[in-house]
């Protein structure tokens, strides 16, 4: 409700300047005293000369004090305004000097000085951070482009210049369509595609994000060359493959070559020894064994490279584990019962994985005369995962770094692909396979974790 005693202010009414308003208030303060003094002088029995003298002194002192009061009020405000303007314009070289004392103006000026110091430090930090960011953007081997709301280029780094084979001066303020990047500002924000740029062609990864500057949306476009990385990964893969193949071939061909030379010398010797036929047979057996070993190695590698993608289907864990445990005839495999579980997996590949784990566990247990135990359980939030584990009482793992290195094995006659193939199957199902030494006893513990999916993971299987 409007106050009836309050007169509404006319918004179009022009106010007096602050310094004139302060002068009027200062004059108004001195009016009563000056008026009383003049009345007493002019109404009293004084000479005319004294009257005029007192009048001039009183009026002059009144005006002088009013002007001085206006100056003492407005001058610090002008100083404060100049300081604030300098801060607004980014000039931090000015400081207020009148900061001693506990009066209100001294406190205000001290706060202004403190704000000036803070803003100066923040500007220095911002400049240093901006310079560092600009240096990093220029040095990274990824093309970075920034486009404004009109799709005109506002920023480009050195990698972007190399990608478009043009200097920044010839690129800035050009539209994305003129630069051949217009289609990258629409569609999917992240994509990987074969593409040709003036600076090269190949497989590229592009990512686009939106940020705001001066209240307007801008696009940040990052273009990375994947061809070089893929070629380097391919080269490293070839090096590893050649090293493994070369090692295995040398292991087989060296004794074959040596034995072949020995057999040739045996046939050329005259007269031949009485047991030359037995030596010949032993040499040929050695060549045959090494040839079979090399054939098994190549077959194992071919099997590892040709693993097909899994065909998931609802698979009951309990019956599968019990059936696999019965396949191991060298020693009894203890099945530790678990709750009914169903996983969405390729039953054939999962069976092959578990066969490898049980066989390795049995090989280790036979060395120490121990046993093997297999079991399963649900785990994770809302039992979203199934964990199958195989535990043995063998000697344990001596070198865990090379467990999943292809063709690495410590067993005589082993191929070194069983665990590699098993982990490949687990990862193809979105799961994990880990092997570790048992913390409670001597032996090894293998853990297979698989997501239960939308089929069996949310309901119980048949008993």
**Cα dist from 64 to 21, 40, 283, whole Å:** 16, 22, 129
Of 93 and 60, the one with more pLDDT: 60
pLDDT band at 452 (very low <50, low <70, confident <90, very high): confident
**Mean of all residue pLDDT scores within the chain:** 79
pLDDT score at 284:
82
Q: What is the pLDDT of residue 5?
A: 45
Is the model's pLDDT at 23 over the cut of 90? no
Sequence-distant (≥ 6) Cβ neighbours of residue 252 within 8 angstroms: 290, 291, 293, 294, 297
Question: Tell me: the pLDDT tens digits for 288-311?
Answer: 877 776 776 666 566 655 667 888
pLDDT at 268 over 60: yes
Q: Which CATH number fits domain 139-229: 3.40.50.2300, 2.40.50.100, 3.40.190.10, 3.30.450.20?
A: 3.30.450.20
Q: Which CATH architecture has domain 313-451?
A: 2-Layer Sandwich (3.30)
Residues 306 and 313: their CA atoms lie apart, in Å, by 21
SS (H, E, C) the chain: CCCCCCCCCCCCCCCCCHHHHHHHHHHHHHHHHHHHHHHHHHHCCCCHHHHHHHHHHHHHHHHHHHHHHHHHHHHHHHHHHHHHHHHHCCCCCCCCCCCCCCCHHHHHHHHHHHHHHHHHHHHHHHHHHHHHHHHHHHHCCCEEEEECCCCEEEEECHHHHHHHCCCHHHCCCCECCCCCCHHHHCCCCEEEEEEEECCEEEEEEEEEEEEEECCEEEEEEEEEEHHHHHHHHHHHHHHHHHHHHHHHHHHHHHHHHHHHHHHHHHHHCCCCCCCHHHHHHHHHHHHHHHHHHHHHHHHHHHHHHCCCCCCCEEEEHHHHHHHHHHHCCCCCEEEECCCCCEEEECHHHHHHHHHHHHHHHHHHHHHHCCCEEEEEEEECHHHCEEEEEEEECCCCCCCCCCCCCCCCCCCCCCCCCHHHHHHHHHHHCCCEEEEEECCCCCCEEEEEEEECCCCCCCCCCCC
Predicted local distance difference test score (pLDDT) of residue 245: 64
Tell me the average pLDDT across 54-67.
86
**pLDDT for 4:** 45
pLDDT for 460 beyond 50: no
pLDDT at 408 over 90: no
Mean pLDDT along residues 80-88: 83
Q: What would the pLDDT profile of 437-451 be if each residue is shown by its tens digit?
A: 888 888 899 999 998
First to last CA, the chain: 78
The pairing of beta strand 432-437 with beta strand 444-451: antiparallel
pLDDT confidence of residue 372: 92
Report the pLDDT value the prediction gives residue 461, as an integer from 0 to 100.
38
Predicted pLDDT at 244: 60
pLDDT per residue as tens digits for the range 186-199: 888 888 888 888 88
Residue percentage of the chain with pLDDT more than 90: 6
pLDDT tens digit string along 342-401?
Answer: 898 888 888 888 888 888 888 889 888 888 999 999 887 667 789 999 999 888 877 655
Query: Can you give the pLDDT at residue 8?
Result: 52
């Amino acid at each position: 409700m409007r106050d009836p005693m309050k007169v509404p202010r006319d918004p179009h009414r022009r106010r007096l300047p602050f310094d004139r308003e302060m002068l009027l208030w200062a004059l108004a303060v001195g009016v009563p005293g000056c008026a009383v003094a003049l009345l007493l002088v002019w109404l009293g029995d004084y000479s005319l000369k004294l009257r005029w003298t007192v009048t001039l002194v009183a009026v002059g002192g009144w005006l002088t004090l009013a002007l001085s009061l206006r100056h003492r009020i407005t001058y610090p405000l002008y100083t404060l305004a100049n300081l604030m303007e300098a801060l607004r314009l980014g000039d931090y070289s000015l400081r207020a000097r009148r900061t001693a004392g506990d009066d209100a103006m001294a406190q205000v000026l001290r706060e202004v000085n403190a704000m000036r110091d803070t803003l100066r430090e923040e500007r220095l930090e911002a400049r240093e951070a901006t310079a560092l960011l600009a240096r990093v953007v220029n040095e990274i081997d990824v093309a970075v482009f920034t486009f404004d709301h009109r799709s005109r280029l506002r920023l480009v780094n050195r990698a972007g210049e190399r990608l478009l084979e043009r200097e920044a001066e010839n690129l800035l303020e050009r539209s994305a369509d003129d630069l051949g990047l217009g289609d990258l500002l629409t569609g999917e924000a992240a994509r990987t595609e074969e593409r040709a740029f003036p600076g090269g062609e190949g497989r590229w990864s592009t990512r686009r994000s939106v940020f705001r500057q001066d209240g307007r949306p801008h696009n940040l476009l990052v273009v990375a060359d994947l061809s070089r990385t893929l070629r380097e990964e391919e080269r490293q893969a070839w090096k590893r493959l050649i090293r493994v193949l070369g090692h295995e071939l040398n292991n087989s061909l060296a004794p074959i070559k040596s034995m072949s030379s020995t057999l040739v010398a045996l046939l050329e010797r005259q007269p031949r020894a009485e047991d030359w036929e037995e030596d010949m047979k032993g040499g040929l057996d050695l060549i045959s064994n090494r040839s079979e070993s090399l054939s098994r190695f190549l077959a194992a590698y071919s099997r590892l490279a040709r693993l097909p993608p899994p065909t998931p289907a609802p698979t009951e864990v309990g019956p599968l584990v019990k059936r696999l445990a019965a396949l191991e005839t060298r020693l009894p495999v203890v099945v530790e019962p678990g709750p009914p579980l169903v996983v969405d997996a390729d039953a054939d590949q999962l069976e092959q994985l578990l066969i490898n784990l049980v066989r390795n566990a049995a090989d280790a247990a036979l060395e120490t005369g121990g046993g093997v135990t297999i079991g399963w359980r649900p785990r994770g939030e809302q039992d979203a995962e199934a964990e199958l584990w195989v535990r043995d009482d063998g000697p344990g793992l001596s070198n865990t770094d090379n467990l999943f290195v292809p063709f690495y094995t410590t067993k005589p006659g082993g191929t070194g692909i069983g665990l590699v193939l098993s982990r490949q199957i687990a990862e193809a199902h979105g799961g994990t396979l880990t092997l570790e030494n048992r913390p409670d006893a001597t032996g090894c513990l293998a853990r297979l974790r698989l997501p239960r999916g939308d089929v069996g993971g949310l309901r119980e299987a048949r008993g």
